[in-house]
Structure 1
Amino acid sequence: MPDPTPLKRSLSLSVTSLYGIGTIIGAGIYVLVGKVGAAAGLFLPYAFLLAGVIAAFTAFSYAELSSRFPHSAGSAAYIHEAWHRRWLVQLVAVLVATTGIVSAATMANGFVGYLGLFIQIPDYLVITILVSLLTLIALWGINESAVTVTLVTLIEVGGLLFVIYVSRGATAVHEWPQIFDAPKWDAWPGLLVGSFLAFYAYIGFEDMVNLAEEVKNPSKTLPRAILIAISVTTLFYMAVAALAVRTTSLEALAQSEAPLASIVTNAGHSPAFIGIVSMFAVVNGALVQIIMASRLLYGVAKKGMAPWFFTGVSAKTQTPVVSTLLAGAIILLFALWLPLVLLAQITAFIMLVIFSLINVSLIAIKMRGAKMGWGAISFSIWVPAIGFLLCFALIVFQIFA
């Protein structure tokens, strides 16, 4: 079999960071703010802060692993380096690809709801056209795709800035001292429940490592980009959350299917703009997931752990054609046949399992004393240990809650 065409290294720190922000910001902040508020109450900003801290531990693990092993295939590659068990690597690769595919299908379903605010088109037609177009964009080329994601990310961030701007002068339902008061002991159960829900809004940073073979100087760029993305996202989430509880009653926030639109409406503005931005957020997230799933299939096939034809790369665009087309086809199938809630539940549960395995893998690598390459970063072993415990706690919560 001839050597496959290599992927093109063209992504800078700024583009990769914006790409990461785009993978995180999306359905979580646009849809879950109300649900998190229902659990955390006035301490909604603290819920997102705590969720960000929880996510950060796993993000640090990914950052170190990406600097130690800057290879495409991301989580699957890290599991391989830790355990050298082919079956485990294949399992993780399938799990990660499944989350990308299921998540993209979830977003495709979500797009239908947002579009329905403006025009009524049969669901199956909207989903088919959307997934087909996004698959073509992913085939267009990684730099072009990343630029597309970056542009949409700027629109998403602009939407959040718009919400922050218009709501800052709105009539206050709750005052700042109430919102930022230290939580009492009896508030912590609800705050923890809200934090667990808010954690879903941070899923996405792990997708960035699948671009390792297309990033300039990945050992330095990827860790920095991951940390920048999660830090910036946390600041945005806290600002939006604080203004949400300041300007909207907890009851209205919890019941709203479009909480950011409710915030804008309460401020005396039309929700049309934020509705359009929400659709862009869904499109952005779905495109990112298609890119992630296709690059993962390419990466594991390149290592000989998946059929060789997944390594097929277009000589013109230098993108993995077969894996991208397959990912798009499965996403379309899931989006057409599985309900939205089930898709979201599957995504969340699988990601927690993967995060737990990643943290345990880094612990094993550290305890083995594996050599580090030049420019690699290293955190204390307590970082992945705490990350594992937090992720495992979330899994237990999902099972028994």
Structure 2
Amino acid sequence: MAERLARTLGTTDAVVVGLSAMIGAGVFVAFAPAVQAAGSWLFLALALAALVAYCNATSSARLAALHPESGGTYVYGRRRLSPFWGYLAGWGFTVGKTASCAAMALTFGAYVAPALAQPLAIGAVVGVTALNLLGVQRSAGVARILVAFVLAVLAMVIAAGLLSGPAPPFSLADPTAYGMPDPQATPGWFGVPAPEPETGLHLVALSVTEGGSWSFLGVLQGAGLLFFAFAGYARIATLGEEVRDPARTIPRAIGIALAVTLVVYTLVALSALHALGPARLGLSAAPLADVARTAGVDWLVPVVSVGAAVAALGALLALVLGVSRTVLAMARNRDLPAFLDAIHPTRQVPHRAELAVGVTVIILLLLADLRGAIAFSSFGVLVYYAIANAAALTLTRDEGAPHRAIPVVGLGLCLLLAFTLPWMAVVTGLAVFGFGAALWFLRHRSPAGR
């Protein structure tokens, strides 16, 4: 019988882990590319992302309470659908979130010292992996400190933005006069290119300052980009084997973490739009720093940079925790090498899985430019949650099934958002899933192995 992890996390610990993943570095940069996609319909995109997150969280919470094991949707897919669908969910989560780990590490490095972003990112991965190897309670304790600091920084930015005067008129001729970056010199964040000085700048400005035109695709793309920032509640479910009283704790923790995140994101969006206006927000590479600068609170600008670095570190911590637990679950079923199926006898952590994840992230940092990892990760995670919703549809009333409309809406919206992401992310995602499926069928060629 496989070794089991110790149940040491309470409700507060689980909420903090979820918050550290959701209120991560994305909140400091995600609104700019979302505005570029959705224009003046940003709040509709935010509401759609929140609706998808609610459906996914409800389905995941009910499944996690019934199957409180490490692995999240990998386990639910195997138990409720078939081993193949569970494997596909685990494959997408592991590959996508490993890329996200690298992106968060690079974000940390870029905020601390841009010229040393790569070595700092590698150091962050080494530090987070070492911390996780000391035990999940230590990781949860550090996450509390990081989340508290980031929430304090966000509260100051929200107050500064809402208490400032309305955004001044935006000039197409010289955005730098309003504290904005030069669009010719500032690259896009997370694979979203900065607008061209003569074409994209006008398109963004006109679409959001003159009311814009309804763009269903733009709203969907904006929701898909914002969904990435909500997806951290999966960390709670993937830690199901380490939570006390999981049937009660997991649904409660997911609900609390999601509600807090939605309130924070809504207030941040209101503050940024009030202080900057939609056109300037759409062009900003560091929106919350620009909010502080525009509000005249210059001392807050470096604090925001520190907050973004800390948030990236917290997100990286939660990501490595979640990915390593999914790797452990897949190794238990031999969907990944059996060598990774090991729990440290004293620290009660999947030490080999955590080391493997850390080494893989470092290799990615050395070999690849991962600024486009967010869109790819969003595709993988949306497919992951589509499988979670499909698994929730198999629950009976006695098993705590949610209202049928919740997983149906969640499944449909996950697939819709996944396939309306930027085309490169869709093509890359389909290729990665196709490769993973091919590996599965090569390993399970006989009818008995399928």
**Normalised TM-score (structure 1):** 0.88
Give the match for residue 383 of structure 1.
406
Structure 1 position 332 matched with structure 2 position 362: yes
Deviation at 1:343, TM superposition (A): 2.0
Distance 2:258 2:136 in 1: 22
Deviations 1:49-79 (A, max 9, x none): 3321122111111111111211111111000
- Bigger CA drift: 27-36 or 322-331? 27-36
CA distance in 1, matches of 2:41, 2:164: 19
Residues 399 and 279 (structure 1), Cα distance of their counterparts in 2 relative to 1, 3 Å cut: closer
**Aligned partner (choices 96, 103, 108) of residue 106 of structure 1:** 103
- Residues 202 and 88 of structure 1, relative CA distance in 2, 3 Å threshold: same
What does residue range 2-401 of structure 1 map to in structure 2 within 5 Å? 5-85=3-83, 87-116=84-113, 120-121=115-116, 123-173=117-167, 186-187=213-214, 189=216, 190-270=218-298, 271-363=301-393, 365-366=394-395, 369=396, 372=399, 377-398=400-421
Distance 1:224 1:202 in 2: 16
Q: Could you report, residue by residue, the CA deviation over 1:183-224 in whole angstroms, capped at 9, with x for unpaired residues?
A: x99546354443333222212112211111110100111011
Q: 1:31 Cα deviation (Å)? A: 0.7
Query: Partners of 1:83 and 1:237 in 2: how far apart?
Result: 34
Measure how far apart 1:149 and its partner are: 1.5
Secondary structure of the residue aligned to 1:248 is: helix
- State the percentage of identical aligned residues: 25
Supply the distance in 1 between the matched residues of 2:43 and 2:153 (Cα, whole angstroms).
Answer: 18
- Quickly say closer, same or farther: Cα 1:351–1:15, change in 2 above 3 A: same
Q: Does the aligned pair in 2 maintain the 1:38–1:250 contact within 8 Å?
A: no
Amino acid of the structure 1 residue aligned with 2:246? P
| Contact 2:375–2:421 (Cα < 8 Å) also in 1 | no
Deviation digits for residues 253-298 of structure 1 (CA, Å, limit 9, x no counterpart): 1111110100011111231001000000111111111111111122
Alignment size in residue pairs: 380
* SS at structure 1 position matched to 2:372: helix
For residues 95 and 53 of structure 1, the distance between their equivalents in structure 2, rounded to whole angstroms, comes to 22
Unaligned runs of 5+ in 2: 169-210, 427-450
- How far apart are the structure 2 equivalents of 1:154 and 1:310? 33
How far apart are 1:11 and its partner, in Å?
0.9
Rounded to whole Å, the distance in 1 between the matches of 2:321 and 2:93 is 12
Preserved contact between residue 42 and residue 219 of structure 2 (Cα < 8 Å): yes
Q: Which amino acid aligns with 1:202?
A: F
Counterparts of 1:146 and 1:386, CA distance in 2:
33
* Partner Cα separation in structure 2 for residue 299 and residue 310 of structure 1: 9
Deviation of 1:4 (Å): 5.3
Distance 1:265 1:227 in 2: 34
- Aligned partner of 1:179 in structure 2 is none
Match of 1:181 in 2: none
Cα separation, partners in 2 of 1:262 and 1:215, compared to 1, 3 Å: same
1:71-120, Cα deviation, whole Å (9 max, x unpaired) = 111111000112233x4433322221112211101111212221136xx4
- Residue 419 of structure 2 aligns with an amino acid whose one-letter code is V
The whole-number CA distance in structure 1 between the counterparts of 2:236 and 2:404 is 22
Shift of 1:302: 3.1
Distance in 2 (CA, whole Å) between partners of 1:156 and 1:336 is 28
1:5 deviates by: 4.6
Give me the whole-angstrom Cα distance separating, in 2, the residues matched to 1:304 and 1:40: 43
Q: Residue deviations 1:354-374, cap 9 Å, x none?
A: 1112212222x23xx4962xx
**CA apart distance, 1:306:** 3.7
TM-score, normalised with respect to structure 2 = 0.79
Tell me, in whole angstroms, the C-alpha distance in 1 between the residues paired with 2:286 and 2:232.
21
Q: What is the alpha-carbon distance in structure 2 between the residues aligned to residue 35 and residue 341 of structure 1?
A: 13
Matched residue of 1:249: which SS? helix
Q: The residue matched to 1:11 in structure 2 has which SS?
A: coil
1:177 maps to which residue? none
CA distance in 2, matches of 1:171, 1:109: 34
Letter of the 1:394 counterpart: L
Task: Write the deviation string for residues 299-351 of structure 1: whole angstroms up to 9, x where unpaired.
Answer: 23334544333222222211111111101000111122221233223211111
Offset at 1:9?
1.1
Residue 41 of structure 1: CA displacement?
3.9
Pick closer, same or farther for the CA change 1:397–1:124 going to 2, 3 Å: closer
* 1:322 partner letter: R
